[in-house]
């Protein structure tokens, strides 16, 4: 019997009605940039569509679906902590309001033969939202292609040392070379405020002069607004990701502490891309990220406020 991973966040984080949801996504996609030939590495947020739906539409509307057969989705774990392994879905299908997406069980079985993967239980799968929020867009952008919807391979990543990261990147690099495979990083950007235990602030908009605020402090006179400081932090992260250096990415995260929830999945994908670039056929500029849009859930003015940031991007591969 096929195990179906239910659309557990439908009706709360996004509409469970296929008609209502379809109209909403149509509006989001209508305002987004057009498809980009060769764009098959994507990065986009996973918050509720009220907050991040437009930004996620920017990501998916650039997607070149002409050859896609499989979608690898790399996302963080929000509810469980695990170390030096990556979790795969044990389900055979992912439910969406539009219809079900098949999980590529042939690929998952092959991945489980390596020492870096395990299978997550269905409760962990259904509690996590980082894959589910992308599923309706994947279904909608491919259902009318005439080739059917692609299979998906959700990969959950928590913590891993450098050896694990290298091993996982090595496994994924082989799949990256296949033009029938799309890779998606599911990630929000800065989570700012006391409830996220992150209140870094740059009064000048330059991340080299970060200070730590608390709820009782005031923004220094003449300093930039907090939301502009958050934007400066995120834009620096985006610029570094665009350079394509996983080492530079790790240094940025260590230096700033920016609470980008998908920082580890993105770092591992960057390592995998670097391994592909070692092949002369691809070269050093292959699959460098380009950014489309950026937004925040709210404009933080006071240290008592909070926000989450969202960014949309892609790489041609």
Give the model's pLDDT for residue 147: 82
Locate 186 and state its tokens: 């599911």
- DSSP assignment of 190-228: -EEBGGGTB-EE-SSS-GGG-EE--TT--PPTTPPPHHH
> Is 227 within the bounds of a domain?
no
In degrees, rounded to 5, the angle at the alpha carbon of residue 298 between the alpha carbons of residues 295 and 299 is 95
Number of structural domains in the chain: 1
Beta bridge partners of 182: 71
**Taking 90 as the threshold, does the pLDDT of residue 192 lie above it?**
yes
> Is 235 within the bounds of a domain?
no
The alpha helices in the chain, defined as continuous H runs, are 18-30, 49-61, 105-112, 122-127, 135-142, 162-176, 226-243, 246-256, 263-277
Sign of CA dihedral 7, 8, 11, 15: negative
> Is 236 within the bounds of a domain?
no
Of the given ranges (22-26, 82-86, 205-209), which has the lowest mean pLDDT? 205-209
> Is 76 within the bounds of a domain?
yes
**Taking 80 as the threshold, does the pLDDT of residue 4 lie above it?**
yes
Domain that holds residue 73: 4-194+261-316
> Is 214 within the bounds of a domain?
no
The domain spanning residue 270 has which CATH number?
A: 3.40.830.10
Percent of the chain with pLDDT over 90: 93
> Is 124 within the bounds of a domain?
yes
> Is 254 within the bounds of a domain?
no
Q: What is the pTM of this model?
A: 0.96
> Is 96 within the bounds of a domain?
yes
């Amino acid at each position: 019997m096929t195990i179906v991973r239910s659309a557990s966040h439908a009706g709360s984080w996004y509409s469970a009605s296929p008609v209502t949801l379809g109209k909403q996504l149509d509006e989001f996609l209508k305002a987004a940039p057009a498809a980009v030939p060769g764009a098959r590495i994507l990065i986009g947020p996973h918050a509720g569509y009220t907050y991040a739906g437009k930004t996620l539409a920017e990501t998916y509307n650039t997607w070149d679906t002409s050859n896609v057969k499989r979608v690898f989705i790399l996302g963080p774990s929000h509810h469980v902590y695990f170390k030096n392994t990556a979790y795969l879905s044990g389900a055979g299908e992912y439910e969406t309001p539009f219809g079900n997406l098949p999980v590529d069980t042939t690929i998952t079985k092959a991945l489980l033969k390596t020492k870096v993967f395990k299978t997550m239980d269905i409760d962990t799968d259904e509690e996590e939202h980082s894959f589910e929020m992308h599923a309706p867009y994947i279904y909608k952008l491919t259902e009318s292609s005439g080739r059917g919807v692609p299979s998906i391979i959700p990969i959950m990543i928590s913590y891993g040392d450098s050896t694990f990261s290298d091993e996982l990147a090595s496994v994924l690099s082989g799949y990256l070379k296949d033009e029938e495979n799309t890779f998606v990083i599911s990630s929000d950007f800065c989570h700012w405020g006391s409830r996220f235990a992150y209140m870094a602030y740059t009064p000048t908009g330059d991340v080299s002069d970060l200070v730590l605020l608390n709820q009782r402090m005031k923004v220094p006179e003449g300093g930039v607004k907090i939301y502009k400081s958050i934007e400066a932090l995120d834009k620096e992260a985006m610029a570094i990701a665009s350079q394509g250096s996983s080492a530079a990415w790790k240094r940025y995260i260590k230096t700033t502490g920016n609470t980008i929830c998908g920082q580890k999945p993105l770092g591992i994908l960057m390592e995998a891309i670097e391994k592909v670039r070692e092949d002369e056929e691809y070269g050093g500029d292959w699959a460098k990220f380009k950014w489309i849009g950026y937004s925040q859930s709210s404009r933080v003015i006071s240290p008592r406020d909070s926000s989450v940031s969202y960014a949309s991007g892609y790489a041609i591969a």
